[in-house]
Amino acid sequence: MKQQNLTKTLNPAVQFLINYAVPIIFSILVAIAIPLSGLPGDYLVREIMTRLTRNSFIILSLLIPVMAGMGMNFSIVLGAMAGEIGLIFITDWQIVGISGMLLAMLISTPLAILLGYFGGIVLNRAKGREMVTGFMLAFLMNGIYQLVVLYGMGNIIPISNSDILLPREYGIRNAIDLVGVRGALDKLISLKVGGLLIPVVTLLVIAALCMFIIWFKKTMLGQEIRSVGQDNNVAKISGINVGNTRVLSIIISTVLACYGQIIFLQNIGTMNTYNSHEQVGVFAIAALLVGGASVKKATVPNVFVGVILFHTMFIVSPRAGKALIGQAQLGEYFRVFVSYGVIAFSLALYAWRARVEKENDRRKAMVLKREILQSTNPAGGE
């Protein structure tokens, strides 16, 4: 009985606190950690700027599946893998500069669409447990990626540039130097502002994606996706093909993730062939959740708030850990713990709230039913 009043009739301040529990707690942690770490302010600002330009695109790709009610899309990793395969090929063919980057995007798009389609179909067959399935699917595809890149390339798939192959003549090396496309997008136009090098074009691209997402919500397809996300049955009755719409939302997300990973890698300049994409899903989702998003609702501001908070924590953890307990190694583990913990906490909080609301709705419906029965039967009794 006590839970009945929990989320619906609490005063708005407490409701705000519960809704945004994760970013608030995180902000407090970060606020404590920054002075602990002793890192200078302008260094932090520079680092955050870099991370914003590097990571925002791929986190933005998570927004559309949330709209479609599919929760956190752990299978953006598939898109990242497609992007990496594209980069492997252009490095093999020695295509450089912005042309190289665009070509990588071009050739990895069909692969990303294919993987997104596959992912979408698998997730459709696992309705109700999309997140776990997406999570395991990412691991599965990682194994297949390994088979292709570590064994197929140089063997069945022709690779002519021996710089990127392992000494045994097939299989790609662990780390590929993307010197050709390093900074391809970032350095197209860059402004120097007080010691900070701002990659103008990258920021414009990110802004364009944000506007695209906002515009997309208003298009017919966007509306269909949102209605599927709100209630499958209502959507079906209005004539929307729920299954296809869900698959489409995953395809879009995967393709965006593919481009996002390419943008990410051109900024870093080196590709860890087998590791770069592993943490992509976890960190992107953690950042989004830290920014205040939930399984049912994620908006553009969540992305940027999330990147700033999450990555600040990322940067200051090692030093803060050292200052606090005397071992820098601790900061590393603390950082990993925080990433996983944030996701666990957010998801648990969301699931708990969803259950409580469902209970509330059920009780309300029962009360209503009783009232209706009593009003149509004034003599009382059932």
How far is C-alpha 111 from the geometric centre of its chain's CA atoms? 19
Question: Looking up tokens 């009043």, which residue turns up?
Answer: 5
* Residue whose CB is less far from another protein, 92 or 210: 92
Residue 261 binds another protein, judged by CB under 8 A:
no
H-helix or E-strand spanning residue 271: strand 270-272
Between CA 271 and CA 172 the distance in angstroms is 11
127 contacts another protein (rule: CB under 8 A): yes
Is the distance from CB of 48 to CB of 312 less than 8 angstroms? yes
CB of 147 or CB of 372, closer to another protein: 147
CB of 179 to another protein, least distance (A): 10
How many residues make contact with another protein (CB under 8 A)? 53
Q: Are 71 and 295 in contact (CB under 8 A)?
A: yes
Identified binder of another protein from the candidate list 33, 103, 176, 308, rule CB under 8 A: 103
Distance between CA atoms of 334 and 325, rounded to whole angstroms?
11
Residue 354, classed as helix, strand or coil, is helix
Among 37, 108, 133, 273, binds another protein (CB under 8 A): 133
Torsion, Cα of 322, 324, 329, 330 (10° steps): -160
Out of 23, 79, 83, 100, name the contact with another protein by CB under 8 A. 100
Q: Which of 22, 81, 137, 284 binds another protein (CB under 8 A)?
A: 137
Tokens 């299978």: give the residue: 75
Site track 312-351 with another protein (rule: CB under 8 A), x = hit: -------------x-x-xx--xx-xx--xx-xx--xx--x
Q: Which is nearer to another protein, 42 or 332 (CB)?
A: 332
How far apart CA 254 and CA 75 sit, in angstroms, is: 8
> Is 198 in a helix, a strand, or coil?
strand
Q: Which of residues 277-296 bind another protein (CB under 8 A)?
A: none
Stretch 192-211 residues interacting with another protein (CB under 8 A):
none
CA 328 to chain centre: 28
Instruction: Return residues touching another protein (CB under 8 A).
Output: 90, 93-100, 102-103, 106-107, 122, 125-129, 131-133, 135-137, 139-140, 142-144, 146-147, 150-151, 180, 325, 327, 329-330, 333-334, 336-337, 340-341, 343-344, 347-348, 351-352, 354-355
